[in-house]
Amino acid sequence: MSQDKHIAIVGATGAVGEEMLKCLEERAFPMSKLTLLASARSAGQKRTFRGEEIEIQELTHDSFGGIDVALFAAGGGISEEYAPSAVKAGAIVVDNSSAFRMDPDVPLVVPEINPEDARQAKKGIIANPNCTTIISLMALFPLHKKFGLKSIIASSYQAVSGSGTAGIAELEQQVNALAQGEPIEQNVYPKQIAFNVIPHVDVFQDGGYTKEELKMLNESRKILALPELKVSCTCVRVPVYRSHSVSLTAEFDQAVDVAQAREAFAGYPGIQLVDDPDQELYPVPLDTTNKNDCLVGRIRKDTVMDNALALWVVGDQVLKGAALNAVQIAEVL
């Protein structure tokens, strides 16, 4: 991408939008101009980028003139309303919401896995996958290339920042209130999150799975081009501020070997092997917070299924699970 590109961030004052801004600067993204867009109440605020202050503008349908790539970091409703206007104005949209992920004409991209799909955006929109899906597939794709992925059983341990700043605030308030013997406030989650775990992320659907759990099934199939892939997932909210963890049991078409599995991660972009249990080395959320790479460890042969491995992966869901992945898609372009 040449240096004369005009980039926009939609939802620039939100958690993901702020991280997109950092990623663009840290990665020296090639551009000549940056526009920051947000709601009317945020208009007029300023953010510093490359030593200069940029004033945030109110998002309207006329905001996209001259913009080449629009990074959407707002909710699905915003994307559905404003992404068509961005495309009509000539921009390519990289959308972090779930609005377009399952549209057959919208590529769903993890750049380390299927970068070629980003160049086939028939509608001018490229979708960012769900954060838990991204982190899981970062660990599974090198193994898929070696052994051929057949099925996934996943249990996620998702940080409260996955619910935005309100989730973080609720955990903080509850911890502090319990320490002081005061009443807790409960607005974001259906149960107390402090010192607790909640097996309920997103809305329950027919069949008992939540929308978050079904995203793992549907998005993994699309990204990997494996329409028959079997996936069973349980998503759990845990009292961790940032970075999601996922326990995976993956079944493969071929016989698996732990040593070969570890070798598959060597030098693979975006993933680091941290797997020496004898030295108490294994991934934990604090080791990935504010880090670009996902960490994988606890690799072992499954004791129930043939040709299966059990493993543990952790990644910063605000970065690789959202903002960084979107910026990487723009880099592919």
Q: Mind telling me the catalytic residues?
A: 131, 244
- Residue the block writes with tokens 């609720």: 170
**Core vs surface per residue 225-255: b (16+ CB within 10 A) or e:** eeeebebebbbebbbbebbbbbbbbbbbeee
- Residue the block writes with tokens 């690789």: 320
